[in-house]
């Protein structure tokens, strides 16, 4: 019993790690697509311009900062929702 | 909650439901991020810092997105419940 439980935990960890890694890769690709679309418009030369690089890097940094803020707000909302659910449960349980 | 009182089949069901909920939440989060990015961040990247207006916009965008999500959820549940009721009446 003890052993099977441990095995499940290890599998779970692997699954979570893989998920994190795949999430990272997906957001990497999405970031490239988005910033490329917004920053690279000139196709008269195949050289990437200084301004295009700068724009893309700013785009990435800004997106990450935005993501951080969205995540903060999201967590706040979830906490409030959880508290409300708990309060409801207490009310109906009693 | 005491998990030992629930049968293994039900435990598995609960776990699948929880996983689905987590996946749904992360999908919601990703869609919201994309939507608010589109609406709040103009595609001119002369700076890497978020502007003050952009920050306010993001805060409001998240609040409104989740509010709309809740409203739609309520309406959707009501409608599907009504549908189920109608189907029950038709078959009986």
> What CATH number is attached to the domain comprising A33?
1.10.287.810
pLDDT score of B3 more than 80: no
| Residue numbers of the domain that contains A32 | 13-90
Residue ranges of chain A with pLDDT lower than 50? 1-2
- Domain borders along chain B are 8-41+50-91
R_g over Cα of chain A: 22
Per-residue b or e along A70-90, where b marks 16 or more CB atoms closer than 10 Å to that residue's CB:
beebbeebeeeeeeeeeeeee
Residue A64 inside a domain? The answer is yes
| Facing residue for A69 by CB, picked from B29, B46, B58 | B58
The pLDDT assigned to B4 comes to 63
Instruction: Name chain A contacts of B52, Cβ cutoff 8 Å.
Output: none
| Facing residue for B48 by CB, picked from A38, A61, A70 | A61
Give SS3 for B19: helix
| Facing residue for A69 by CB, picked from B29, B48, B55 | B55
Instruction: Name chain A contacts of B49, Cβ cutoff 8 Å.
Output: 62, 65
Measured between alpha carbons, how far is A12 from A6 in angstroms, rounded to an integer?
10
* pLDDT, tens digit (0-9, with 9 covering 90-100), for B16-28: 999 999 999 999 9
| Residue, of B1 and A84, whose pLDDT is higher | A84
Measured between alpha carbons, how far is A87 from B14 in angstroms, rounded to an integer?
22
Give A 3-32 residues with CB within 8 A of chain B: none
Number of domains in chain A: 1
pLDDT score of B2 more than 60: no
The pLDDT assigned to A63 comes to 96
pTM: 0.78
How many contacts does A have with B, using Cβ atoms within 8 A? 60
Of B33-37, B54-58, B83-87, give the lowest mean pLDDT range.
Answer: B83-87
| Facing residue for B46 by CB, picked from A34, A58, A69 | A58
ipTM over 0.90: no
The pLDDT assigned to A2 comes to 47
Which residue from A minimizes the CA distance to B60? A73
Instruction: Name chain B contacts of A40, Cβ cutoff 8 Å.
Output: none
pLDDT score of B1 more than 80: no
Instruction: Name chain B contacts of A69, Cβ cutoff 8 Å.
Output: 50, 55, 58-59
The pLDDT assigned to A1 comes to 45
pLDDT score of B40 more than 60: yes
Correct CATH for B8-41+50-91 of 3.20.20.30, 1.10.287.810, 3.30.365.10, 3.60.9.10: 1.10.287.810
Measured between alpha carbons, how far is B78 from A52 in angstroms, rounded to an integer?
50
């Amino acid at each position: 019993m003890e052993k099977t439980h441990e095995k499940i935990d290890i599998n779970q960890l692997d699954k979570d790690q893989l998920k994190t890694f795949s999430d990272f890769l997906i957001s990497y690709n999405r970031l490239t697509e988005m910033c490329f679309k917004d920053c690279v418009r000139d196709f008269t030369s195949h050289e990437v311009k200084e301004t295009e690089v700068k724009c893309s890097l700013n785009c990435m940094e800004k997106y990450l900062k935005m993501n951080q803020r969205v995540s903060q707000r999201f967590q706040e909302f979830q906490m409030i929702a959880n508290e409300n659910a708990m309060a409801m449960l207490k009310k109906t349980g009693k | 909650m005491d998990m030992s009182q629930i049968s293994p089949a039900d435990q598995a069901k609960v776990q699948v439901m929880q996983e689905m909920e987590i996946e749904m939440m992360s999908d919601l989060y990703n869609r919201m991020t994309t939507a608010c990015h589109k609406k709040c961040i103009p595609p001119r990247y002369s700076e890497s810092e978020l502007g003050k207006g952009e920050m306010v916009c993001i805060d409001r965008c998240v609040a409104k997105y989740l509010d709309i999500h809740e409203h739609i959820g309520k309406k959707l549940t009501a409608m599907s419940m009504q549908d189920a009721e109608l189907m029950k009446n038709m078959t009986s």
